[in-house]
Chains A and B, each alone.
Chain A
Amino acid sequence: MFTALLKKDLLIELRSKEIVISMASFGVSVILLYSFSFNESPKTFSIFASGLLWMVFLFISVLGLHRSFSLEKEFDAIGLVLSAPVNRSLIFLSKWVSGFLFLLMAQIIIVPLFWLFLALDIPSQIGLWLLVFIMADLGIAAVGSLVAGITLRARMSEVLLPILLFPLVSPLLIAAVKSTDALMVGLPFEEWKVWGAIIFTFVIAFSVTGVLIFDYVSEE
């Protein structure tokens, strides 16, 4: 059942491509604005590059999450899914994974352009770097799907989503920025393992909470 739900999200996206395209193009235009507004040498810029990068990811994840959940509102699709004999936790899991995949796909487009436009150095520990991205994306998608589920049927859901998401996600953002920073300077893992631990804790805490609690969020 989980694969069916996930396949549904991915198929819709594959046919319309609206979520990933809008996330990526919004992200790229923000980067363009960055390079206009901070006309600095790459060396200066690299000091706050990772912070700016994760800000972009937060913004585009709000875009993507909102779109992905408001698709469910059209023709009351979520009502039909809920009336099917499906375990609601699976709905959360499918939204979590699809949200994660959309974010990752958008990042695949955005990150190389970010490095190219701003002429940054390529970090040496690519493997660890990818791991940080994947884990932090999982965290954003987990808490994002939960909050998007809560605000789905509220009026002004597009405003409520970022208002609730940003404070909740702040520890994850700090940890992701700090570890990306450390990797860009080339610090060994020992030096920033506490940030890795915070990202890991965040992902575990919110995915487990999401699975346990989504039943109540989606109840009619």
Chain B
Amino acid sequence: MNSFNSKRIPNIMAVIIIIMLGAGLKIVVDYSLTVDKEAGYLWAQKIFYYHVPSAWTAFLGYFIVMIAGVQFLRTGNRKWDQIGVASAEFGTFFCLLVLITGPIWGQAAWGQPWTWEPRLLTTLILFLLYIGYFMLRQFGGHYERVARNSAVLGIIAFLDVPIVYLSLKFWSADTQAHPQLGMSEQSSLVLNVFFFNLATFTLLFIYMVWYRIHILKLKQKQLELTHGL
């Protein structure tokens, strides 16, 4: 198996992502409009160009975990388990970014870092669930069983999301609302910057998962060689 960096496409992709991340940062800091000009939290608003793409990527990751789980249970192909683990790991990484950037904005906008806001809370619950997911993978026993059980867990975890979100929405109906401007009300500059960062994060996520799967495959190969499986 070739080294990951000796392939052409990942290298090109890495360069593109680095350029996009740098350009994105420059645009967000220097040129992007903020959503609300009257309020005092003009600058803090800019974190949304990172907060929302992180959230999108995290949920994309968990969605892929579910799909990979279904596929693994159906086919029993190890490839799907590797895709599932890699997506779960980076989904959780972006989940953590959401949980960090959310309170930073909250401190500036609401004067307190944490409010019981449904979306932030749903993310926290998913984050906790996935801590359990990794513990299960760690302590689950032999490979086949771990792969199967974590596939099942990935499916139930994602099924739980809409119920969690709905119940939290009714539960905290009176807490401060999440800023929710309709897409059409935004100026085109805001949208362009936002979608640019969304694309960057999605590409970054794909690259990371790809790299991780490569490492998992190498690990499996090493196991096969040492144990003569």
**Using a CB–CB distance below 8 Å, which chain A residues touch chain B?**
143, 146, 150-151, 153-156, 159-160, 163-164, 166-168, 170-171, 174-175, 178, 194-195, 198, 201-202, 205-206, 209, 213, 216-217, 219
- Interchain CB contact under 8 A, A167 and B125: yes
Question: Beyond A155-B139, A219-B148, is A209–B170 a contact (Cβ under 8 Å)?
Answer: no
Give Cα A159–Cα B138 distance, bound, in whole angstroms: 13
List of 9 A-B pairs having minimum Cβ-Cβ separation, nearest first: A171-B167, A164-B132, A155-B139, A163-B132, A167-B129, A167-B128, A154-B140, A171-B163, A150-B149
Is B219 part of the binding interface, using a Cβ–Cβ cutoff of 8 Å?
no
- Interchain CB contact under 8 A, B168 and A164: no
Give Cα A140–Cα B157 distance, bound, in whole angstroms: 15
The interface residues of chain B lying within 8 Å CB-to-CB of A198 are 163, 166-167, 170
Q: How far is the CB of B161 from chain A (nearest CB, A)?
A: 10
Give Cα A163–Cα B133 distance, bound, in whole angstroms: 9
- Interchain CB contact under 8 A, B139 and A205: no
- Interchain CB contact under 8 A, B139 and A171: no
Known: A150-B153, A159-B135, A167-B128. 4 other contacts (CB 8 A): A150-B149, A154-B139, A198-B166, A202-B163
The interface residues of chain B lying within 8 Å CB-to-CB of A164 are 129, 132-133, 136, 153
**Please, could you name 19 A-B residue pairs with CB atoms under 8 Å apart, sorted by A?**
A146-B152, A150-B149, A154-B139, A154-B140, A160-B132, A160-B139, A166-B128, A168-B156, A168-B160, A171-B160, A171-B163, A174-B167, A178-B171, A198-B163, A198-B170, A202-B163, A213-B152, A216-B148, A216-B151
Selected from B149, B153, B163, the residue in CB contact (under 8 A) with A201 is: B163
- Interchain CB contact under 8 A, A146 and B129: no
Question: Beyond A209-B155, A213-B155, is A151–B167 a contact (Cβ under 8 Å)?
Answer: no
Most chain-A Cβ atoms within 10 A of its Cβ — which of B133, B166, B170?
B170
The interface residues of chain B lying within 8 Å CB-to-CB of A168 are 129, 156-157, 160
Question: Beyond A154-B139, A164-B136, A168-B160, is A174–B171 a contact (Cβ under 8 Å)?
Answer: yes
- Interchain CB contact under 8 A, B141 and A153: yes
Give Cα A159–Cα B131 distance, bound, in whole angstroms: 12
- Interchain CB contact under 8 A, A217 and B152: yes
Selected from A153, A174, A209, the residue in CB contact (under 8 A) with B156 is: A209
Give Cα A89–Cα B171 distance, bound, in whole angstroms: 34
Q: How far is the CB of A124 from chain B (nearest CB, A)?
A: 24
Chain B, residue nearest A157 (CB):
B139
Give Cα A166–Cα B171 distance, bound, in whole angstroms: 17
- Interchain CB contact under 8 A, A216 and B171: no
- Interchain CB contact under 8 A, B171 and A217: no
The interface residues of chain A lying within 8 Å CB-to-CB of B145 are 153
- Interchain CB contact under 8 A, A216 and B152: yes
Chain B, residue nearest A219 (CB):
B148
- Interchain CB contact under 8 A, A154 and B141: yes
Selected from A159, A175, A209, the residue in CB contact (under 8 A) with B167 is: A175
Q: How far is the CB of A163 from chain B (nearest CB, A)?
A: 4
The interface residues of chain A lying within 8 Å CB-to-CB of B97 are none
Give Cα A107–Cα B142 distance, bound, in whole angstroms: 38
Is B189 part of the binding interface, using a Cβ–Cβ cutoff of 8 Å?
no
Give Cα A166–Cα B160 distance, bound, in whole angstroms: 12
- Interchain CB contact under 8 A, B149 and A217: yes
Q: How far is the CB of B119 from chain A (nearest CB, A)?
A: 14
Give Cα A194–Cα B171 distance, bound, in whole angstroms: 10
The interface residues of chain A lying within 8 Å CB-to-CB of B73 are 213, 216
Which chain B residues numbered 166 to 186 have a C-beta less than 8 Å away from chain A? Answer: 166-168, 170-171
Selected from A151, A178, A194, the residue in CB contact (under 8 A) with B136 is: A151
- Interchain CB contact under 8 A, B141 and A217: no
Q: How far is the CB of B6 from chain A (nearest CB, A)?
A: 38
Give Cα A166–Cα B132 distance, bound, in whole angstroms: 10
Give Cα A195–Cα B149 distance, bound, in whole angstroms: 31
- Interchain CB contact under 8 A, B159 and A205: yes
The interface residues of chain A lying within 8 Å CB-to-CB of B128 are 163, 166-167
Give Cα A168–Cα B159 distance, bound, in whole angstroms: 10
Give Cα A167–Cα B132 distance, bound, in whole angstroms: 10
Q: How far is the CB of A3 from chain B (nearest CB, A)?
A: 26
